[in-house]
Amino acid sequence: MEKVKADIDYKNSVISIRGLRKAFDDFQVLRGIDLDLYQGENLVVLGRSGSGKSVLIKIISGLLTPDKGDVTVLGKKVNKISDKELQELRIRIGFSFQASALYDSMTVRKNLEFPLVRNRRHITRKEINTAVETVLDAVSLSQTINQMPSELSGGQRKRIGIARTLILNPEIMLYDEPTAGLDPITCIEINDLINEVQQRYNTSSIIITHDLTCAKSTGDRIAMLLDGQFQRVGTFEEVFNTEDERVKPFFEYNFIQ
Amino acid sequence: MDTVTNSPAPAGKGRRTLKRRLADFFVSLYRVNQFILRFFKEAFLPPFELKETVRQCFEVGVRSFTLISLTGFIVGVIFTKQSRPSLSSFGATSWLPSLVSIAILRALAPLVTALIAAGKVGSSIGAELGSMRVTEQIDAMEVSGTKPFKYLVCTRVLATTLTIPILATYTAFIALLGGYLNVATNEGTSYITFMEQVFEPISFLDFTAAIIKSVVFGFTIGIVGCYQGYYSTKGTEGVGKAANGAVVTAMFLVFVEEILIVQIVGWFR
């Protein structure tokens, strides 16, 4: 499916990162990052393995704390708010994990219900069923409702993982390597789903990947993370129209080989 | 070719390692303390995970039931059999039921139950939470605005704390049954006489101490299993370590607590 031009509000940034630094022991992963994600935008963060892409979205969602810098999400400074405020903020952020992180001991239905019943305590059974059916329909996996995660394929697990985040109607989606380990056809389906989520749920998203096909087909803007900093930020063409020896191999490997 | 040297580490390096180990030890003590405090903070505040707690109680009971039944019975039979020669040497085999009941109710039932539960339940909690940690399931719960600590840790610790005293009581009865079968076969003692002699030397303090002991053991097994699993790292290797650490640490602590509780109860006797 061709990427439809998104309706992006460039005056309204939903995530704003300034001077973000993070180190593990002596290794500086992020070295002063500045970034804005605008309302309605799909921003792809590209970079090599171990370059700190996943660390970045874990800091945004409050799973990791930065050493320095500010991360403002939907007007709240993630590293300076109380646990209760962080919990409330997280409901507005969807996080799709690289390995899907489905709860092994629960069926697909229970996986989807889990965040819903715990965040909306007074929700009725009928409303729960409707919400579950709606998100399963959105990811085209209604038939898997009573299956266990171990019975699903890699692509189906990714979709259910995305459905589980959509059930809370998030304003921001964070995708960690959405196409990693999937065959090319399933990758295309996942890319289409990411675009569909952007259109249907009006979300703003950060997509972490090193798959350029995914970057090209889902990203409104690309940010290239190299040596702990964003070296190039722009459209796909702007980022890869360069002679930079650190950037060129990405393009050549993905599209020439 | 690589050469292997067996020269001792420099003294300065050794001191640094020792310092680091000591620091790690105190850091982990602090973390355990925080973990226990967090349990008390979250377990008794709404919303309660009642359904999951009941499910976990059932899991703890079911997981250990067969093994506890078998072990309890064997302990009763063996203890009675092994005690007989000593008592018969000065013609006191009629004291056998009293001796068996004191040993079982005061010490063996809570201890055997706790050790079996540490092996069966503790390891399974450690492995389960450890695998949830390394496959990011705990992170997934956290980012979806739910409280994984309440759902995963509080429910399991409450389940072991509530269920292990019940299992210990059951173990005591099964062990006494084993003891009775042995006594009845050898001495021809009737069931009623056996039971009268069993309860004669047992005081209210013995019952209370046994129950308190089981509650403490249950809490320890739950907390240790959950702590090891919740903070496990390093992939599948970490899961194995969490399961192993849960069993070894819980068993060690159970013995330490046994000594302490026996001492404290002794002051009241």
pLDDT at B92 over 80: yes
The answer to whether residue A119 neighbours chain B at the CB level (below 8 Å) is yes
Residue range A148-152: mean pLDDT, rounded: 96
Distance CA B215, CA B234 (A): 32
Q: In the β-sheet with A93-96, what is the strand arrangement from edge to edge?
A: A93-96, A172-176, A204-209, A42-47, A221-226, A229-234
Q: What is the pLDDT of residue A210?
A: 86
Global pTM?
0.88
- Contact predicate B126/B245, CB 8 Å: yes
Q: B15 pLDDT band (50/70/90 cuts)?
A: confident
pLDDT at B242 over 80: yes
Tokens of B182: 């042995």
pLDDT at B11 over 70: no
Distances, alpha carbon B252 to alpha carbons B100, B199, B220, B255, B257, in Å: 25, 31, 10, 5, 9
The answer to whether residue B139 neighbours chain A at the CB level (below 8 Å) is yes
- Smallest Cβ–Cβ distance between A90 and the set B131, B136, B143 belongs to B143
The answer to whether residue B46 neighbours chain A at the CB level (below 8 Å) is no
Position A145 in a domain? no
* Domain membership of residue A86 as a residue range: 9-93+171-255
Q: What is the pLDDT of residue A89?
A: 95
B26-56 pLDDT, tens digit per residue, is 888 899 999 999 999 999 988 899 999 999 9
- Which one, of A167, A66, A77, A78, lies nearest residue A116 by Cα? A167
Position A40 in a domain? yes
Position A132 in a domain? no
A13-67 pLDDT, tens digit per residue, is 999 999 999 999 889 999 999 999 999 999 999 988 888 999 999 999 999 999 9
Distances, alpha carbon B18 to alpha carbons B22, B24, B32, B252, in Å: 6, 10, 21, 23
How far away is chain A from the Cα of B114, in angstroms, using its nearest Cα?
26
Q: What percent of chain A has pLDDT over 70?
A: 96
Residue range B219-243: mean pLDDT, rounded: 92
Q: B166 pLDDT band (50/70/90 cuts)?
A: very high
How many separate domains does chain A show?
1
Q: A79 pLDDT band (50/70/90 cuts)?
A: confident
- Which one, of B149, B154, B155, B157, lies nearest residue B132 by Cα? B149
Position B28 in a domain? no
Position B240 in a domain? yes
Looking at the DSSP bridge assignments, the partners of residue A172 are: A93, A204
Position A194 in a domain? yes
Position B262 in a domain? yes
User: CB–CB of A165 and B144 under 8 A?
Assistant: yes
B168-206 pLDDT, tens digit per residue, is 999 999 999 999 999 999 999 899 999 999 999 999 999
How many separate domains does chain B show?
1
Q: What is the pLDDT of residue B4?
A: 41
State the pairing for strand pair A68-73/A76-77: antiparallel
Q: B5 pLDDT band (50/70/90 cuts)?
A: very low
Residues 6+ apart with CB under 8 A from A90: A61, A62, B142, B143, B144, B145
Residue type, position A252, single letter: E
Q: What is the pLDDT of residue B21?
A: 87
Distance from chain centroid for Cα B95: 31
- Contact predicate A176/A209, CB 8 Å: no
Position B78 in a domain? yes
- Smallest Cβ–Cβ distance between A101 and the set B140, B146, B151 belongs to B140
Q: To the nearest whole number, what is the mean pLDDT of chain B?
A: 91
The answer to whether residue B143 neighbours chain A at the CB level (below 8 Å) is yes
* Domain membership of residue B108 as a residue range: 49-268
Position B182 in a domain? yes
Q: What is the pLDDT of residue B10?
A: 57
Q: Give the three-class secondary structure for A157.
A: helix
Q: What is the pLDDT of residue B13?
A: 64
Residue range B133-146: mean pLDDT, rounded: 94
The answer to whether residue B84 neighbours chain A at the CB level (below 8 Å) is no
Q: Where are the beta strands (DSSP E) in A42-163?
A: 42-47, 68-73, 76-77, 93-96
User: CB–CB of A97 and B141 under 8 A?
Assistant: no
Distance CA B58, CA B55 (A): 5
Position B39 in a domain? no
Tokens of B26: 């105190």
Position A140 in a domain? no
pLDDT at B3 over 50: no
Q: A2 pLDDT band (50/70/90 cuts)?
A: low
Q: What is the CATH number of the domain that holds A80?
A: 3.40.50.300
- Tokens 């921003």 sit at which residue? A43
- Which one, of A212, A200, A211, A204, lies nearest residue A174 by Cα? A204
The CA radius of gyration of chain B, in Å to the nearest whole number, is: 23
Residue range A172-198: mean pLDDT, rounded: 93
pLDDT at B8 over 90: no
Distance CA B84, CA B179 (A): 11
Regarding predicted confidence, which is higher, A52 or B15? A52
pLDDT at B2 over 50: no
Residue type, position A165, single letter: T
Residue range B76-92: mean pLDDT, rounded: 92
